[in-house]
């Protein structure tokens, strides 16, 4: 699925270089999914509306480890890698506990796996879900 079709309403940033992506993967101790890496190459973070009803803030590659540390994500939801937010009280992140890495939504306040909602089986499907939200 081409991610470009979802980016029209977003304010994009210059793409991340390979060294930035590799450095962040090293800091995280994780290999990021290819469709997400493809997005980072196009725009290293973004903000705006996808579709008519979904606002999203996607963090840059350089912010991933520091923002996850600041929110103490591994303390509250081990295995979650937050990549951004709804611009309100919801965080979006990869569920890294299995091999598929779906994207889930969790509240920033009271962050817990019990409140996680599936938003897409991949980064591309997550963008599709946001675009189609009513």
CATH code, 63? 3.40.1580.10
- Interacting residues of 10 by C-beta distance below 8 A, sequence separation 6+: 43, 46, 47, 48, 49, 50, 56, 58
- How far is Cα 101 from Cα 79, in angstroms, rounded to an integer? 10
Contact 87, 93 (CB under 8 A): no
Q: Are 73 and 81 in contact (CB under 8 A)?
A: yes
For 36-75, write each residue's pLDDT tens digit: 999 999 999 999 999 888 999 999 999 999 999 999 999 9
| Global confidence as pTM | 0.93
- The span from the CA of 19 to the CA of 37, in Å, is 12
Range of the domain at 125: 3-132
Mean pLDDT calculated for residue range 89-95: 97
| Residues paired with 54 in a beta bridge | 50
How many structural domains compose the chain?
1
Q: What is the pLDDT of residue 114?
A: 96
Could you tell me where the beta strands, DSSP code E, fall in the chain?
10-12, 46-50, 54-58, 80-85, 90-95, 103-107, 117-120
């Amino acid at each position: 699925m081409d991610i470009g079709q979802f980016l029209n309403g977003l304010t994009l940033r210059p793409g991340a270089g390979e060294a930035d992506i590799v450095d962040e993967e090293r800091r995280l101790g994780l290999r990021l999914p290819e469709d997400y890496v493809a997005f980072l190459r196009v725009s290293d973070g973004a903000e705006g509306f996808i579709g008519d009803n979904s606002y999203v803030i996607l963090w840059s590659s350089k912010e991933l480890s520091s923002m996850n540390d600041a929110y103490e994500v591994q303390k509250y939801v081990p295995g979650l890698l937050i990549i951004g937010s709804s611009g309100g009280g919801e965080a979006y992140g990869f569920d890294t506990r299995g091999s598929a890495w779906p994207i889930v939504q969790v509240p920033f306040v009271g962050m817990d796996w019990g409140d996680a909602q599936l938003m897409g089986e991949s980064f591309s499907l997550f963008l599709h879900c946001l675009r189609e939200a009513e």
